[in-house]
Amino acid sequence: MKRPARSPVTPRTSHRSIAIWLSAAVMAMAPAALTAPRAPAFPGPVHVTGGLVSGVAGRHASLTVFKGIPFAAPPVGDLRWRAPAPVVPWSGVKRADAFSDSCVQTIVTEHKPWTYEFMTHNRVSEDCLYLNVWTPAARADERRPVFVYIYGGANTEGSAAVPLYDGEGLASKGLVVVTFNYRLGVLGFFSHAWLDAEAPYHASGNYALLDQIAAVRWVHDNIAAFGGDPTRVTIAGQSAGASAVHNLTASPLAKGLFQRAIADSGSSLTTGRGGRTLASQDEDGARFADAKGAHSLADLRAMPWQEIVKPVSVPARGGRGAAPLRFGPIIDGYSLPEPVAQIFSDGRQNDVPTLTGSNADENGAVPHPTVTHEDFVKQAQQRYGDRATEFLKLYPASTDAEAREAANASARDQARTSTYLWAMARAKTAKTPVYTYFFAHPLPGPDVEVYGAFHSSELPYVLNTLDQADRPFTDVDRTIARTLSSYWVNFVTTGDPNGAALPHWPAATASSAMTMKLDEAPVAIPVATTPEKLAFWRSVLTER
């Protein structure tokens, strides 16, 4: 889905935010005895890599929250574009009571369908490698299952401070929850031959992936001090965060650091198939340095980040116009030695139980597509060539209205089948199960009839954070959130989403070709609506 151009704006003032402000104002006038903060449930201080930290009481009386714990040295100055360095130790007890700055990005309050609760809102800086812990434990020896969330945002935006990622929703159901920041955009992925020569591993780029590995390693090393179990760690992410989950699952540097994986809107037959090479991105790195007038790494590192992140355009390949330089994850020979799909095919991945799926109104489906019958037929001919006739028999339409229904049905069948085929390709070398889903409940709110179950709309339900969204939720929504978050908690706890009083969720298998439809009445459904459609999509997708 194409997102509109972004620019900094002032955060909206909603009825909910006014109510919160008024509540705070009333409390400010209350007697001191009534406003004294509650003591955190978890005893402190806690010893972590670097020193001692103390937490604060969560909104739920049983939870303790630690915000802004450093997991690496600030990647500033000479540490810009280097693998994350060890934490700088501190003396005394660090009060971990506030989110750190988010990593450098353009702040925008909303761009529909993503409203305030999906967005980053706090200050940004390069000094951003911090994490947050929510624990329901009262003692360090409780060994609770651990959920580590990796935000999405196209590798150019996102933050551990995004309201929807608040850890209290799942911590209140028994998990220790961790969120963390990682570098974004050119500061997270820039590569250049200068950097290759400097690094002891003779590569550059993928600093964001190295940040993610460093954060998960911190969890492995420290989470027991918060009552978490380092042998039951689940990494989870959505969109770009889901891609990060696949990268971590493939990376040899993350071996043994986690035992389960959740990838929301990030698994398909094309997942990790290709991947840009270091050499290719190094060429763009040289163009970038030239455009910035830099003659050395020292020149680039001396520039303020505000100058570094200004877009650079170069002549497009093929000589037509100009195109912005973009830096993203690459096959660097170190953190990602080969394409993810190849690593899975060879059976060299971190083989862990996996839960993954997509939403009804992404991957080309929208509640009310604007396609006409003429457009639908033309697109079928362009996409499927000599198989267009077969496609149009499977998804017939003679009017504009029928064409819109057929366009949505085909897009959804294709998306579910692609996820299923990915799961079956994975099964060739994996010994652990995979559970797939199809989230189909429209998220209530602005223009719900236009956006439906859009990309990332499952998050307030699976993360149990409806209270972070200013939307007209009903009892149905609250029931869905209880059910879906219970599936997630079960999976994090045991590697299987199933549990008492929940509709059965079957693992993906070659013989059943089923996926779990998640809405107010979860049920297993075929990945394509007829066997003939499944055969068509299997053939089309595996030919690409």
DSSP, residue by residue, 103-126: PS----S-BTTB-GGGS--S-B-S
Both tokens assigned to 33: 């005895």
CB 330 within 8 A of CB 425: no
SS3 letters across 394-448: HCCCCCHHHHHHHHHHHHHHHHHHHHHHHHHHHHCCCCCCEEEEEECCCCCCCCH
β-sheet bridge partners, residue 228: 144
Count the alpha carbons within 13 Å of 188 in the hemisphere toward its beta carbon: 27
Distance between CA atoms of residues 21 and 28, nearest Å: 10
The residues that are catalytic are 239, 362, 455
| Rounded (5°) CA angle 79-83-84 | 75
CB 440 within 8 A of CB 518: yes
Both tokens assigned to 59: 């909104």
Distance between CA atoms of residues 99 and 91, nearest Å: 20
DSSP 3-state assignment of 328?
coil
H helix intervals, 99-229: 168-171, 185-189, 193-198, 207-222
Both tokens assigned to 379: 């697109």
- CA-CA-CA-CA torsion sign (369, 370, 376, 382): negative
Distance between CA atoms of residues 108 and 110, nearest Å: 6
Distance between CA atoms of residues 410 and 379, nearest Å: 12
Closest by CA position to 250, among listed 179, 149, 347: 347
Which residues touch 421 (CB under 8 Å, ≥6 apart)? 268, 269, 538, 541, 542
DSSP 3-state assignment of 476?
helix
